[in-house]
A and B are shown apart, each in its own frame.
Chain A
Amino acid sequence: MKTKSNLERVLEAGHFAVTGELGPPASADPEVIKTKSKFLKGNVDAFNVTDGQTAVVRMASWAASLMGKEEGLDPIVQMTCRDRNRIAMQMDILGIAALGLNNLLCLTGDHQKFGNHPEAKGVYDLDSIQLVKMVKDMRDEKKFQCGDEMRVEPHLFIGAAANPFADPFEIRAMRLAKKVAAGADFIQTQIIYNVDKFAEWMKEVRDMGLHERVKILAGVAPIKSIGAAKYMQNKVPGMDVPDAVIERLRGVPKEQVSKEGIKLCIDIINQVRQIEGVAGIHLMAIEWEEAVPEIVESAGLLPRPKFST
């Protein structure tokens, strides 16, 4: 064990892992986190706290993570390269570890153009792969990016993202290999609706032996409405929503659509579970956290493993 992460323990013990996601509020309200935590507790092994997703100002990931930890959850702090340079990142990494948070997901970040401050200066001093390497060197070599040594290193379980649906497809598995070489311990993928394409990517991943070097959690998410499905299909960069998904939702009466969305999510969980090399799922019920218990239970993923110490 590299860390005290519950997620690491679950994965090391060979369980099929479940991670959730919590979007912090666009305000200073701590109650939102407490309420959302209730739906996640006992249903997931760890949960991501987004870092200014879609470049909209929200509560800092580490702060909301700390509140989630106080609710008894294992938070995965997200960190993007968009808003911080290497100096700020390393300061935050030290603080995150000192607060007893155990997981860090390293991301490039959504471009500032998409958010509520499109005039902001994007930083991108590092890219996500360089961030992974920097955290790994801090943890395993006790070294800052500049090479200086530190006395107490941050024990963090290092995550990174992968998008099997973005272009150019031929570079996607290689990019995963780079993240693994840089030091990623686990990977969470983009939300999967096109299972065939995901399976094709996983085959490449297996051919490169990457599934044996990193734990891959398949991204899944329930769809609440046909509008949301079409929005993801047309407007969200790097998403692949096949027409068949929209047709399936259209095939039920309007009041049944969200239920069908949950069923579809469960079906996808069952399908990706069969794919060799998938070590778990990352369930992103964004602004629909109350759907988590039903999905996890219906997919047969309860109870979640518990460890005595």
Chain B
Amino acid sequence: MLISEQKPLEEILGYLDREENIFLIGCKGCAAGWESGGEKQVTEMGNALKEQGKNITGSVVVDMLCDSTLTKLKLRTHKSELAAADSILVLTDGAGVQTVAEIVDKGVHPGCNTLSAGGAHAEWKEAERCLECGDCMLDYTGGICPIARCSKHLLNGPCGGSQNGKCEVDPDIPCVWQLIVDRLTKLGQLNKLEKLVKPKNWSVSLISGLPTRRVS
């Protein structure tokens, strides 16, 4: 079970600064369990965004958002609402956000921070997508995580060892920054990477924060 909590509304509004039409996605699995992105939270987020002058083109709460086949089928029934949206706000953990990014050629914003996998990595054997860093930055990277997938956890672009799309550490590992650059190029948002990303706050992360935390 991936444990997540919603980001502050202010941070989410920062992501949506230049966007008006938003499609919302939640999940009936972990995010519903942790009350960060179930039916209720998606409705509430829709209302909060409307109050801020945003137009919600539609929303969907998928049974298991990390199941890409299921999510693909589900999103197919919302084609026109997705087409009308400038971007998508996903109220789940990092795994769910990245599933959507893989399916939809539109900007995807994370609405939550992933705090912990609660001891289990159910869906991601050999394809870890989320390292529970507690301060989701998928908005900046087009919905692909460099914390989980860059061998050096780099935040400001690829190191000098990226070649032919592969990581210098292992020719079987794709260079995640190549994937990020490809996706942002496709979305016409490569300039997002011009931003100087500040040192990460690792204190909220399971990687080097507290070894365990109490979850109520």
Interface string of B126-154 (1 = CB under 8 A from A): 00000000000000000000000001111
**A34 to nearest B CB, angstroms?**
31
- The one of B162, B170, B196 in contact with A166, judged by C-beta atoms closer than 8 angstroms, is B162
Structural contact, B199 and A111, CB atoms closer than 8 A: no
Structural contact, A145 and B178, CB atoms closer than 8 A: no
**B175 to nearest A CB, angstroms?**
7
Chain A residues 195 to 253 lying within 8 A of chain B, measured CB to CB, are: 237-238
A111 and chain B: residue at smallest CB distance: B169
Structural contact, A170 and B181, CB atoms closer than 8 A: yes
Residues of A within 8 A of B197 (CB): 129-130
Structural contact, B163 and A127, CB atoms closer than 8 A: no
Give the size category of B's interface with A: 20 to 34
Structural contact, A178 and B199, CB atoms closer than 8 A: no
- The one of B151, B160, B199 in contact with A161, judged by C-beta atoms closer than 8 angstroms, is B160
Structural contact, B194 and A127, CB atoms closer than 8 A: no
**A138 to nearest B CB, angstroms?**
13
Structural contact, A174 and B158, CB atoms closer than 8 A: no
A240 and chain B: residue at smallest CB distance: B163
Structural contact, A129 and B156, CB atoms closer than 8 A: yes
Structural contact, B157 and A171, CB atoms closer than 8 A: yes
Structural contact, B196 and A182, CB atoms closer than 8 A: yes
**B78 to nearest A CB, angstroms?**
32
CB of B177 within 8 Å of the partner chain: yes
Chain A residues 67 to 96 lying within 8 A of chain B, measured CB to CB, are: 81-82, 86
**B74 to nearest A CB, angstroms?**
32
CB of A175 within 8 Å of the partner chain: yes
Structural contact, A174 and B154, CB atoms closer than 8 A: no
> Across chains A and B, which 8 residue pairs bring their CB atoms closest together, nearest first?
A163-B160, A237-B168, A237-B161, A238-B160, A129-B156, A168-B181, A166-B160, A127-B154
Name A's B-contacting residues (CB within 8 A).
81-82, 86, 108-111, 113, 122, 124-130, 133-134, 145, 161-163, 166-168, 170-171, 174-175, 177-178, 181-182, 190, 237-238
Name B's A-contacting residues (CB within 8 A).
151-165, 168-170, 175, 177-178, 181-182, 185, 190, 193-194, 196-200, 202
